């Protein structure tokens, strides 16, 4: 008799937080069926990644393979990675980190947490390890290269960095202002809510330089020039004030600094901004009137806002637009920075950031520090730590060894694929004395590691994720892991203990409870409540069953700032750092596609998803540019910037405007981050992934180009130590 069991868990890809039901033959340790079931955010739906994205658990070895043994380089970077016992690997990591800490001090060590498979509990431990055992606040994660600008900009205006509303509320909004967000590809299950809102009569405004699916269903598509967001949002505010459409009572009761805001905004008449944005003044007027015309208006935004050096400024401007029109503090309105990864909201919640402990408690507040010192029995640093995008500065560009980063502990991230300007990143990794990778797959970063610690994947461990709308939800173990792997939390405990700061837990729930007791905002979100409710949205202050969590923030206009008052802020427009020029006449913007996910270690190893799309990816180019370059759709082309070059296929499409090309960052051969610029937003340190200058060249000998692609594919597979036959279609 097969021991067949049904187990519900949360999807491991995007922040939509869909609920999936696995049917498992536990005797055979085999998945029999997976389908979506009703959850708070997803009803009973999932996108194709939910349906098919678990195949990587079978390790089909298409682009990379699972790591099953701890590995170290016994004699420095030039020596090979060899499999060793856990004891030897842990000792090796602990000894090297200890040596570096003694020689160069705690601030010479950097840690990166993971917004992906591991979940909240191992991330809580990761920041605890870096802070209490190493003794530095140098801890960060991929939110930095993602929605950090949303956190910083929202904190400075409305006091809370997360989505103010919930995913289900979106369908009851009357006006959706969608700016720099492509839900159909990024959060398909959020996209359904946008479609439903449309069906219920909502007016949809889409500001995006491309014709996305949201643009297609929008009532008004503002096809603005890349990098011109703030000229648009300032002009919308200008129209609202000039035409007297603002909510004076809300402004008076709940906000401050309107006058300083107006000093900037008054310059941005629709006529002035129209020239910067490349849309008509009347379209801007219409957008402003519609947006201000409802108390159920929401602004949804994504990477088209944050991944610019002016990202934080646009976020502040978005929050100000919502304050200006009284669109905060009640059902179906507010601000929606829709967090990308399955657990990027959670990894921020857990304090895997250089400035805050779990629960967004400042590392510079002496009382808070004292609380954590007491709880953790360690002396903690009151100095804000390093952001991960500034690691290259502190390695390649810092000449004083005393100020350099000497060790990098990378837990569940692949900067070797996902960070900008990969040439510089590789140089950085190569110069760092000691690099640790704790991952489930061989990836581009593991190539540079001195030690590799193999972890269990989503589906092989328990825990909690936080969905984009502040919803804590359980993940559950579905399969028994195979190979010599350990849970992420256990690995961190072993390293910490070996370094002389003992950490010991029975299970993830014990870690969760420690975290809750130190984080007032999350205190009430017990495992019991999570079981009972399925999802608990923070803040949830009280363990009592009556406190079921919080659907929307800033109720009644009371903001999360210290005095409860919202602060108007915006900035003047600045062009992107690197603009088109005679050598590089096109602009490159990098985005995502629906079937593959971030660095693709996981979706690249799911057969159904691989069959949809494979290397070397695509570059979207306008018919006009393609004609000038004599490029046909499907042809291989070379694309280059000042920093690097790669081969990809041309997708000639009317969805993009002349002069601008788009790549997705999922591809290892068509790797757009060889080209991107590492220019950062000064206040959030988020890179300007969405804009740099490039050129596209026709490749006359297509056969030679395909041979090159195939060679590169084989080379990658060899580096990832794949043993299986090439499974390419």
Ligand X SMILES: Nc1nc2c(c(=O)[nH]1)N[C@H]1C(S)=C(S)[C@@H](COP(=O)(O)OP(=O)(O)OC[C@H]3O[C@@H](n4cnc5c(=O)[nH]c(N)nc54)[C@H](O)[C@@H]3O)O[C@H]1N2
User: From the list 114, 137, 335, 355, which residue makes contact with ligand X (rule: CB under 6 A)?
Assistant: 114
Q: Does 304 bind Mo ion (CB under 5 A)?
A: no
412 binds, among ligand SF4, ligand X, Mo ion, none (CB under 5 to 8 A by kind): ligand X
Residue with Cβ nearer ligand SF4 (18 or 319): 18
Element (H, E) at 695: strand 692-698
* CA angle 467–469–470, rounded 5-degree value: 75
Q: Does 466 bind ligand X (CB under 6 A)?
A: no
Q: Does 413 bind ligand X (CB under 6 A)?
A: yes
Residue with Cβ nearer ligand SF4 (190 or 518): 190
566 binds, among ligand X, Mo ion, ligand SF4, none (CB under 5 to 8 A by kind): none
Site of tokens 């390695």: 395
Q: Does 487 bind ligand X (CB under 6 A)?
A: no
Between 165 and 204, how does the x/- string for binding to ligand SF4 read (CB under 6 A)? Answer: ----------------------xxx---------------
443 binds, among ligand SF4, Mo ion, ligand X, none (CB under 5 to 8 A by kind): ligand X
Backbone angles phi, psi at 327, to 5 degrees: -95, 55
Nearest residue to the partner ligand SF4, using Cβ: 50
For the bound state, the minimum distance from the C-beta of residue 455 to ligand X, rounded and expressed in Å, comes to: 4
- Measured between alpha carbons, how far is 336 from 541 in angstroms, rounded to an integer? 22
Closest to 108 in 3D by CA, of 369, 409, 377, 382: 409
For the bound state, the minimum distance from the C-beta of residue 671 to Mo ion, rounded and expressed in Å, comes to: 17
Closest to 296 in 3D by CA, of 169, 138, 470: 169
Q: Does 597 bind ligand X (CB under 6 A)?
A: yes
Q: What is the DSSP string of 620-663?
A: EE-HHHHHHHT--TT-EEEEE-SS-EEEEEEEE-TTS-TTEEEE
User: From the list 17, 329, 340, 670, which residue makes contact with Mo ion (rule: CB under 5 A)?
Assistant: 340
* 336 touches 170 (CB < 8 A): yes
For the bound state, the minimum distance from the C-beta of residue 446 to ligand X, rounded and expressed in Å, comes to: 8
Residue with Cβ nearer ligand SF4 (54 or 104): 54
For the bound state, the minimum distance from the C-beta of residue 296 to ligand SF4, rounded and expressed in Å, comes to: 24
- Measured between alpha carbons, how far is 416 from 414 in angstroms, rounded to an integer? 5
Q: Does 418 bind ligand X (CB under 6 A)?
A: yes
50 binds, among ligand X, Mo ion, ligand SF4, none (CB under 5 to 8 A by kind): ligand SF4
Residue with Cβ nearer Mo ion (143 or 284): 143
Q: Dump strand ranges (E) for 528-644.
A: 536-537, 566-567, 586-591, 618-621, 636-640
For the bound state, the minimum distance from the C-beta of residue 3 to ligand X, rounded and expressed in Å, comes to: 25
Closest to 570 in 3D by CA, of 109, 143, 159, 229: 229
Q: Does 609 bind Mo ion (CB under 5 A)?
A: no
Residue with Cβ nearer ligand X (207 or 368): 207
For the bound state, the minimum distance from the C-beta of residue 18 to ligand SF4, rounded and expressed in Å, comes to: 3
11 binds, among ligand SF4, ligand X, Mo ion, none (CB under 5 to 8 A by kind): ligand SF4
Q: Does 142 bind ligand X (CB under 6 A)?
A: yes
Closest to 461 in 3D by CA, of 722, 696, 123, 231: 123
In 10 A of CB 707, how many CB atoms? 11
Residue with Cβ nearer ligand SF4 (116 or 695): 116
Residue with Cβ nearer ligand X (311 or 329): 311
User: From the list 9, 13, 340, 626, which residue makes contact with ligand SF4 (rule: CB under 6 A)?
Assistant: 13
- Measured between alpha carbons, how far is 160 from 14 in angstroms, rounded to an integer? 21
Element (H, E) at 221: strand 220-222
Residue with Cβ nearer ligand X (232 or 567): 232
Residue with Cβ nearer ligand X (299 or 368): 299
Residue with Cβ nearer ligand X (179 or 479): 179
Question: Can you list the alpha helix ranges (DSSP code H) found in 350-421?
Answer: 366-376, 415-418
Closest to 419 in 3D by CA, of 444, 436, 398: 444
- Measured between alpha carbons, how far is 165 from 338 in angstroms, rounded to an integer? 10
Residue with Cβ nearer ligand X (203 or 372): 203
46 binds, among ligand SF4, ligand X, Mo ion, none (CB under 5 to 8 A by kind): ligand SF4
Q: Does 146 bind Mo ion (CB under 5 A)?
A: yes
Q: What is the DSSP string of 133-170?
A: II----EE-GGGGTTHHHHHHHHHHTS--S-SS-GGGG
For the bound state, the minimum distance from the C-beta of residue 597 to ligand X, rounded and expressed in Å, comes to: 4
**Distance between first and last Cα of the chain:** 37
Q: Does 46 bind ligand SF4 (CB under 6 A)?
A: yes
Q: Dump strand ranges (E) for 343-392.
A: 356-357, 361-362
User: From the list 31, 34, 47, 184, which residue makes contact with ligand SF4 (rule: CB under 6 A)?
Assistant: 47
- Interface with Mo ion in residues 537-596 (CB under 5 A): none
SS3 of residue 540 by DSSP: coil
* 25 touches 563 (CB < 8 A): no
Cα of 225 vs its chain's centroid, Å:
24
Q: How many residues bind ligand SF4 (CB under 6 A)?
A: 14
Backbone angles phi, psi at 95, to 5 degrees: -60, -45
- Measured between alpha carbons, how far is 664 from 646 in angstroms, rounded to an integer? 13
Q: Which residues bind ligand SF4 (CB under 6 A)?
A: 11, 13-14, 16-18, 42, 46-47, 49-50, 187-189
- What residues line the site for ligand X (CB under 6 A)? 14, 114, 116-118, 142, 145-146, 179-182, 185-187, 207-210, 212, 224, 226-227, 229, 302-304, 307, 340-341, 411-414, 418, 438-441, 443, 455, 457-458, 488, 589-592, 594, 596-599, 601, 665, 672-673, 676, 689-690
Binding site for Mo ion (CB under 5 A): 146, 340
């Amino acid at each position: 008799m097969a021991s067949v069991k049904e187990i519900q868990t949360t999807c491991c890809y995007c922040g939509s937080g869909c609920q999936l039901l696995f049917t498992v033959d536990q005797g055979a340790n085999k998945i029999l069926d997976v389908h979506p079931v009703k959850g708070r955010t997803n009803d009973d739906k999932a996108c194709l990644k939910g349906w098919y994205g678990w195949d990587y658990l079978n390790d089909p070895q298409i682009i990379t393979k699972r790591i099953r043994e701890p590995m170290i380089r016994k004699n420095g970077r030039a020596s090979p990675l060899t499999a060793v016992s856990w004891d030897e690997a842990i000792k090796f990591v602990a000894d090297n980190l200890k040596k570096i800490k003694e020689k160069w001090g705690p601030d010479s060590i950097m840690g990166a947490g993971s917004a992906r498979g591991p979940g909240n509990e191992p991330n809580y431990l990761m920041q605890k390890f870096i802070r209490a055992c190493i003794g530095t606040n140098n801890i960060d994660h991929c939110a930095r290269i993602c929605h950090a600008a949303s956190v910083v900009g929202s904190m400075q205006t409305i006091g809370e960095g997360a989505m103010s509303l919930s995913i289900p509320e979106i369908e009851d909004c009357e006006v959706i202002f969608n700016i720099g967000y492509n839900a159909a590809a990024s959060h398909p299950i959020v996209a359904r809510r946008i479609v439903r809102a449309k069906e219920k009569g909502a007016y949809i405004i889409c500001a995006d330089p491309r014709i996305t699916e949201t643009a297609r269903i929008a009532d008004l598509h503002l096809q603005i020039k890349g990098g011109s967001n703030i000229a648009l949002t300032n002009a919308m505010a200008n129209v609202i004030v000039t035409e007297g459409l603002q909510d004076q009572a809300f402004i008076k009761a709940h906000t401050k600094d309107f006058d300083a805001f107006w000093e900037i905004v008054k310059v941005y008449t629709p006529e002035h901004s129209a020239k910067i944005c490349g849309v008509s003044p009347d379209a801007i007027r219409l957008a402003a009137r519609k947006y201000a015309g409802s108390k159920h208006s929401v602004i949804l935004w994504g990477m088209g806002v944050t991944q610019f050096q002016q990202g934080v400024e646009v976020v502040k401007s978005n929050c100000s637009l919502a304050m200006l029109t009284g669109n905060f503090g009640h059902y179906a309105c507010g601000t929606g920075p829709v967090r990308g990864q399955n657990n990027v909201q959670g990894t921020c919640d857990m304090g895997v950031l250089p400035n805050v402990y779990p629960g967004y408690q400042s590392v510079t507040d002496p009382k808070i520090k004292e609380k954590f010192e007491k709880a953790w029995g360690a002396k903690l640093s009151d100095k804000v730590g390093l952001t991960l995008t500034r690691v290259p500065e502190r390695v390649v560009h810092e000449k004083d060894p005393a100020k350099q980063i000497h060790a990098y502990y990378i837990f569940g991230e692949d900067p070797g694929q996902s960070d900008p300007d990969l040439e510089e990143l590789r140089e950085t990794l190569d110069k760092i004395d000691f690099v640790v990778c704790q991952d489930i797959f061989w990836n581009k970063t593991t190539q540079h590691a001195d030690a590799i610690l193999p972890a269990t994947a989503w589906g092989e461990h328990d825990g909690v994720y936080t969905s984009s709308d502040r919803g804590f939800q359980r993940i559950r173990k579905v399969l028994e892991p195979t190979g010599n792997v350990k849970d992420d939390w256990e690995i961190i405990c072993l390293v910490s203990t070996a370094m002389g700061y003992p950490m010991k837990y029975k299970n993830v729930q014990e870690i969760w409870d420690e975290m809750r007791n130190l984080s007032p905002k999350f205190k009430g979100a017990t495992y019991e409540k999570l079981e009972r409710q399925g999802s608990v949205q923070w803040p949830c202050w009280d363990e009592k069953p009556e406190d079921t969590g919080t659907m929307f923030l800033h109720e009644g206009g009371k903001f999360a700032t210290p005095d409860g008052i919202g602060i108007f802020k915006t900035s003047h427009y600045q062009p992107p750092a690197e603009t088109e020029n005679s050598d590089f006449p096109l602009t490159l913007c990098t985005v995502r596609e629906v079937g593959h996910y971030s660095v693709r270690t996981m979706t690249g190893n799911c057969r159904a998803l691989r069959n949809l799309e494979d290397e070397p990816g695509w570059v979207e180019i306008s018919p006009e540019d393609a004609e000038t370059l004599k490029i046909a759709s499907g042809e291989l082309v070379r694309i280059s910037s000042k920093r690097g070059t790669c081969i990809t296929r041309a997708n000639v499409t009317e969805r993009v405007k002349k002069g601008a090309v788009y790549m997705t960052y999922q591809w290892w051969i068509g790797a757009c981050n060889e080209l991107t610029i590492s220019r950062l937003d000064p206040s959030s340190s988020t890179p300007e992934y969405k804009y740099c200058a490039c050129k596209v060249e026709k490749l006359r000998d297509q056969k030679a180009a395909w041979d090159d692609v195939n060679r590169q594919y084989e080379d990658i597979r060899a580096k990832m130590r794949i043993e299986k036959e090439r499974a390419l279609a």
